[in-house]
Amino acid sequence: MGMTPESATAVAHPNFALSKYWGKRPGPGNFPAVPSLSVTVAGMSTRTMVRFSDELGADELVLNGVPTHGEPLRRVGLLLDRVRSLGAEKRRACVVTSNDFPTASGLASSASGFAALALGATQAARLELTLSQVSDLARRSSASAARSLFGGFVELPAGPEIPDADAELSARPLAPATHLDLRILVCVTSEEEKGTGSTLGMRTTAERSPYYGAWLDAAPRLHGALREALLARDFQRIGELAEASAMAMHASALAAGIVYFRGATLDVLAEVRALRRRGVPAYATVDAGPHVKVLVPTPDVDAARRALGAISGVLRLIEARVGEGASVVAREGACAS
């Protein structure tokens, strides 16, 4: 290996959970307390270049063109440390990453970000891992990122009940992108960074919510039913269960004082119900931010766009299709510098 810098560039897409991951197993290892099921989206992406080099005294991070320190660099460094512990590459790395959608606003930038980083870093370090092992690596940084390695409809099981930091837990594909003819309308209600990150939001929910136990009880049942509905391609049932999972997650968080909804969020949720009364099968899901993702069958997308786009609090609409998993787009050896 010697003195030559080695680099790789990977692209990954966000995923939106239909059945939500909210809450971790106690103990080490970042294991989810509940199973989750997501859809990987096309049309939004994170692109990450990782380059190991002798010339660096410390890991570096450039996020959307800006050299970044503090917590984001610390989390990137922890993933790079794991990569360095797995193989012969021991040098520091420079990570250059950018999103073509707002960062840290509940649009799942940590999912696509850590998926692209895990794939780019393991490729740059010339590790020969399966996609499942890369998913496990991404999961240790951000559990939702484990799902973005795969395309289509993806499941991440709950972690082991007995804490074991070394246990492997990866996401797995359930159905390909072509399984269901679906569009997701992302109703962007704010361009600011979100208030409470999901890691802190779930910790606070676990510590303070009187309904956290009820969430842990309900989530696996909602997940199992959603999985069945998905495999049966029952769109209405998928939508109802996805909305139920999101509302149960937010109910548990709200009871701990963790509020992601804003006025515009509620306006979109009301319009989604109004669409259903008018016969348009639209269903909503909300993550750890104020935006609403609306699921709609492809033939109904124009009707849904018109109604949602007319809401004053909706700054813009992003129309996403079901997309593919993460991929390596470039790899350079000896002559990179």
Footprint on this chain of ligand DP6 (rule: CB under 6 A): 17, 20-22, 30, 36, 110, 142-144, 198-199, 287-288
Q: Which is nearer to ligand DP6, 30 or 327 (CB)?
A: 30
109 φ/ψ angles, rounded to the nearest 5 degrees? -70, -30
From CA 285, how far away is CA 242, in angstroms rounded? 7
Q: Which is nearer to ligand DP6, 91 or 194 (CB)?
A: 194
Q: Which is nearer to ligand DP6, 145 or 275 (CB)?
A: 145
From CA 131, how far away is CA 119, in angstroms rounded? 8
Residue 326 CB, nearest approach to ligand DP6 (Å): 15
Q: Which is nearer to ligand DP6, 163 or 299 (CB)?
A: 163
- Apex 246 CA angle, 203 and 141, nearest 5: 45
Kind of pairing, strands 153-156 and 36-42?
Answer: antiparallel
Q: DSSP state, 310?
A: T
Q: Which is nearer to ligand DP6, 87 or 224 (CB)?
A: 224
Residue 288 CB, nearest approach to ligand DP6 (Å): 4
C-beta atoms surrounding 174 within 10 Å: 17
Residue 277 CB, nearest approach to ligand DP6 (Å): 28
What Rg value do the Cα atoms of the chain yield, rounded? 20
Q: Which residues, 6 or more positions from 307, have their beta carbon under 8 angstroms from its beta carbon?
A: 271, 274, 275, 280
63 φ/ψ angles, rounded to the nearest 5 degrees? -110, 115
Residue 24 CB, nearest approach to ligand DP6 (Å): 7
Q: Supply 166's token pair.
A: 């070394």
Q: Which is nearer to ligand DP6, 112 or 142 (CB)?
A: 142
C-beta atoms surrounding 212 within 10 Å: 21
Residue 40: closest CA among 197, 238, 174: 174
Residue 90 CB, nearest approach to ligand DP6 (Å): 26
Residue 182's DSSP bridge partners are 297
Q: DSSP state, 280?
A: -
Counting Cα atoms < 13 Å in the Cβ hemisphere of 247 gives 10
Residue 175 CB, nearest approach to ligand DP6 (Å): 17
Residue 332 CB, nearest approach to ligand DP6 (Å): 30
Q: Which is nearer to ligand DP6, 11 or 246 (CB)?
A: 246
Q: Which is nearer to ligand DP6, 36 or 105 (CB)?
A: 36
48: helix, strand or coil: strand
Residue 204 CB, nearest approach to ligand DP6 (Å): 12
Residue 169 CB, nearest approach to ligand DP6 (Å): 12
Q: Which is nearer to ligand DP6, 10 or 108 (CB)?
A: 108
Task: Calculate the alpha carbon distances from 17 to 46, 92, 97, 286, 296 in Å.
Answer: 18, 34, 23, 9, 15
